[in-house]
Amino acid sequence: MLTQTNNNQTLKFIFIYGLLFITIFSLTAHYSTGYHHPDEHFQILEMASYKVGYPATELSDLAWEFKSQIRPGLQVIMTAGFFKFCDAVGISDHFLVVEILRYLSALFYLLCVFLLYRVIRGGFTNTVSHHLYWCTAILLWFIPYCSVRYSSENWSAISFIIGLSIYLRAGCRHWLLIFFAGLLLGLSFEFRYQVGIMVFGFVMWLIFLQGAIKKPELYIMISGVLFAILIGTLADFWFYNQWVFAPWNYLKVNIIEHKADSFGTSPWYFYFATIIKSGNIIIGVFILLLVPFLMIRKFKHPLTWIIIPFLALHIMLSHKELRFLFPIIPFMPWVVVLFFTDTWLKWLQIKWVYFLLLAVNTLPLLHIMFSPAQMEVRTMSYFYHHKLAPDFKYFYLNEHKYYVWVLAHTYYYPNSGSYLMGHLTNKNQIRDSLQSAGLILLRDRTPNFHLNATNVKDSMIDATYPPALLRRVNLNNWLARTSLNYIYLIEKKAK
């Protein structure tokens, strides 16, 4: 009877968190059109588009990293292969292709946190720990957004954690699994070179705290890492059409020659201040508390040896961006459980966990679930999917929505080619330039845009965010304080 009760509880547990994952991550993957940082697009999708041979993408359209030969070719070759597969099965919508990549990213994130859970759940002291792990993995507001990204940061983290989980679970029993774990750790380096510090930290933990220097499994794992680097080198040969060692080029250009510093430098405390400023202050302060907790209370724990060197490296580097720390995000559920079970908070009841999440996490989670990652790319989606008459004119105000810096989003060009847009700076120019019919793209805080002309009518036909249903709930006039992209149809009135 007891076993049946436990089985029922397990099924209920799986059902609840499975339903939460499917709902939250599916919505996030669907609405999170675009990219968190331009590198997610220009250094993966555009480069894969060029290698596949899509006519809109030319060599001159590629980011400077290609000419400097510092971009890892592994994720590009994966993406190019996926593009070819989609073409073969008839999926020609480029926005749909990238959306599928976000769904795949979410599924692999689920796999990595599940495998990690299988390894560490034996150390959970109570039922609350299990709920706390999955609440953090699924409900913490920024995790769904970061985990659906088809970015080097996310995929390096996924590869690293799957490899780590396999190694910790395999122990010294299966040399083939240990080699495969090393292979995945090496691939995490090939996705993003900075994650090599995490691999190095884990190896140091094995040597100094586990006495692995005399054990064959350490060298089997390292051989897997080296084999992954060989795979990465072959991918780079395919990518650049010549033999290069891209990790050295990256170190030489960005660190030795200080190319990265040309994109801006920040003080050592940048990450601490930004973590608080970029999100909910309560959650931000709590995340910062986890750092001294690991260093003081969990010095011998593998997480400390993996996370702290990685964090220290990025603090020392002059050029800092918050996304550089994204590879440690999937470790958050494990660190949170360690914190709550090793402090006075171990007495926390599960109902209080839910209450805290509802109180400080619900609104930012809902916002991130329904927001495009880049509003401009969401606008491109409208142009891509709506075939307008040849006499339609495209107008944009000030900033060109198909360019970031000096690079074009050629992967999102329609099959007919680029968009011809007129650059206008005010409403009068729009009215004067209109000959037949046109389309105006406007970035504004309110949807109240009218030309006020007797012979012209205008109507809003699309908005980047939020979905139409949420726009109807304009409590306290929150739309007026939200930066949006609106698309207006401008037409001449019939005489």
Helix, coil or strand: residue 100: helix
* Number of domains present in the structure of the chain: 2
CA-nearest of 381, 402, 386, 413 to 49 is 413
Query: Do 30 and 172 fall within a single domain?
Result: yes
Question: Do both 331 and 390 map to the same domain?
Answer: no
| 350 and 386 co-located in one domain | no
Q: Which of 338, 354, 369 is the last residue of a domain?
A: 369
**Residues across the chain:** 495
Q: Which residue is listed with tokens 């960005």?
A: 254
Question: Which residues 6+ apart lie within 8 Å of 226 measured at CB?
Answer: 186
**What is the residue whose two structure tokens read 């739309």?**
479
Predicted structure pTM score? 0.91
Q: Do both 355 and 383 map to the same domain?
A: no
CA–CA separation, 393 and 447 (whole Å): 21
Last residue of a domain, one of 318, 334, 369: 369
| Chain segment 204-241, per-residue pLDDT in tens | 999 999 998 988 999 999 999 999 999 999 999 999 99
Contacts of 117 (CB under 8 A, 6+ apart): 133, 134, 333
| CB 61, CB 407: distance < 8 Å | yes
Verify that 80 and 228 share a domain, yes or no.
yes
Q: Which helix (H) or strand (E) holds 354?
A: helix 350-369
At 356 the pLDDT is: 74
174 and 36 share one domain: yes
379 and 343 within one domain:
no
Query: In this structure, are 219 and 241 located in the same domain?
Result: yes
pLDDT at 478: 65
Q: Report pLDDT for 412.
A: 86
Q: Which domain holds residue 104?
A: 2-369
- C-alpha gyration radius of the chain: 25
At 1 the pLDDT is: 38
| Residue 422: strand pairing partners | 395
Answer yes or no: do 34 and 85 share one domain: yes
Tell me the two tokens of residue 364.
């930012």
Residues 290 and 409 in one domain: no
Same domain, 425 and 328: no
Calculate what percentage of the chain has a pLDDT beyond 90. Answer: 59
Question: Do residues 348 and 435 both lie within one domain?
Answer: no
d(CA 356, CA 73): 43
Mapping DSSP to helix (H, G, I), strand (E, B) and coil, where does residue 26 land?
helix
* Per-residue pLDDT at 405: 42
Q: Which of these three, 325, 348, 369, is where a domain ends? A: 369
Extract the residue ranges of the chain whose pLDDT is less than 50: 1-2, 400, 402-406, 417-418, 420
